Amino acid sequence: MPALRRLGRTGAFWASASVLALVLWSSGAPSVLYPIYAQKWNLSPAIITLVFAAYQLALIVVLPVFGNLSDQFGRRLVMIWGVALIAASAVMFAIAPNVTFLFVGRVLQGAGSGLAMGAATASLVENNSTGNARFASSLATVSTAAGLTLALVFSGVFARFIPMPLFWSYVLLLGLTITAGIALALTPHDRPSQTRRWRPQALRLAPGLRLSFSIATLSVSLAYCVGAIFLSLGAHMIGQFTHTTNAATVGVLLGCSSAAIGATGLLLARIRPLVSVLAGTLLTLVSLGLMAAAATFGSIGLFLAWCLVGGVAYSFAFTGGLGVINQATTVHHRGTTLSLLYLIAYVLQAATAIGMGALATAGTLGTAISVASAVIAGLCLVSLMLIILGARTRRSAAR
């Protein structure tokens, strides 16, 4: 049926970018609404962060089992499966009568994202016809940032000005999943001509990738750990420390972070991946200091600075990490390698969210912020050591 193939390679490229945006939209859609859920059902910070982390926990299950699906069945089909699960999650959130539905919705979001994200990232690389190999990594950052920004802003505006925001926010998400599914259906089939019977396989690294994979994974993980703080407890932090109850203000503040991610991503296509990783690591350290200062002084200005610098740091770290791994892998191993990278990053993100929620419930939110800052700063130091080791290895190989 020719109509199903009329978008061509360029269409597949932009459809994949839209899937990445959708994945982050679905992940961020509940973030501004968590305080409303907490007030409505009397939920503690620990429960809220567990709801948030159900997404990552589902990914941790899906990625090892199904991470090689797109290498076997093609990127397009696996993305369609992922988008269908995200659509089901939107329905669960829209009709949720209690917190159990939120857990189910987050699990469906995580499972759908686990299928779609690795396939979409690989599809961007393989359908990139710009002649600039780094453009795919840069666009992946911009797409995810755009999806997250719009989710946060729309959720905040809906919560402030629209009746039944806990319903209409997810009706909008459902409409977006239908649109993305139609776009994917119009792209060419890309299933490999030679396929074997699929079975779950352990995610393994191809030979010679260990150092590059470690640098890339830790860089993406730093971005995700800081992102976990923004998305799970960011609204609570702004509300508690600045005493604002305006959901639209909270949504715009958090949206500034993801907007900074996207704006920075537009500038990174010509920056070498390792340089981007280094900049992301150093800026993450700065953002942690701003987060601690914002919590201490309760200043909206400092929270805005934290959101902006944290967003820029995320963009450098995420884009650089993907750039490093995309340069190092071949098409036959790219889907599996990216799935393994995302698996580790999401494990660390879930640990950050759950740990902060437990500390905030048992003690104070300020204590949770201090501990999280110290742990993430330690990861930054490990990243710096790996970058130095990688630079020395390349210099030795060039001699």
Q: What is the pLDDT along the chain (399 residues), one digit of tens a residue?
A: 444 446 778 888 899 999 999 998 998 899 889 889 999 999 988 899 899 889 888 988 887 778 777 877 888 999 999 999 999 999 999 999 999 999 999 999 999 998 998 889 888 888 887 767 678 877 887 888 888 888 988 998 898 888 999 999 999 999 999 999 999 999 888 776 665 666 666 666 666 778 889 999 999 999 999 988 888 888 888 888 888 778 888 888 888 888 898 888 878 877 889 999 999 999 999 999 999 998 888 888 999 999 999 999 999 999 899 888 888 777 666 777 877 888 899 889 889 989 998 998 888 888 899 999 999 999 999 999 999 988 787 777 666
Is 296 inside any structural domain? yes
Burial class (CB in 10 A: 0-12, 13-18, 19+), 286: middle
Dihedral of CA atoms 86, 91, 92, 93 in degrees, nearest 10, equals 90
**Who's near 100: CB < 8 A, 6+ residues apart?**
none
For the chain, helix (H) and strand (E) counts, in that order, are: 15, 0
User: Per the structure block, which two tokens stand in for 201?
Assistant: 């396989």
| Residue 11 near residue 186, CB atoms below 8 Å | yes
Is 142 inside any structural domain? yes
Is 144 inside any structural domain? yes
With CA atoms as reference, report the closest residue to 149 among 24, 309, 284: 24
pLDDT at 203: 62
Q: Residue 256's domain is classified under what CATH number?
A: 1.20.1250.20
Is 202 inside any structural domain? no
pLDDT at 197: 66
User: Per the structure block, which two tokens stand in for 330?
Assistant: 């071949």
Is 246 inside any structural domain? yes
Is 199 inside any structural domain? no
Is 169 inside any structural domain? yes
**Who's near 340: CB < 8 A, 6+ residues apart?**
63, 67, 203, 204, 205, 213, 217
pLDDT at 195: 59
Alpha carbon 329 to chain centroid, angstroms? 21
pLDDT at 63: 77
pLDDT at 202: 60
| Residue 10 near residue 129, CB atoms below 8 Å | yes
Q: Is 68 helix (H, G, I), strand (E, B) or coil?
A: coil
- d(CA 124, CA 353) in angstroms, rounded, equals 29
* Type of residue at 43: L
Name the residue range of residue 233's domain: 2-189+208-398
Domain count, the chain: 1
DSSP state of 42: T
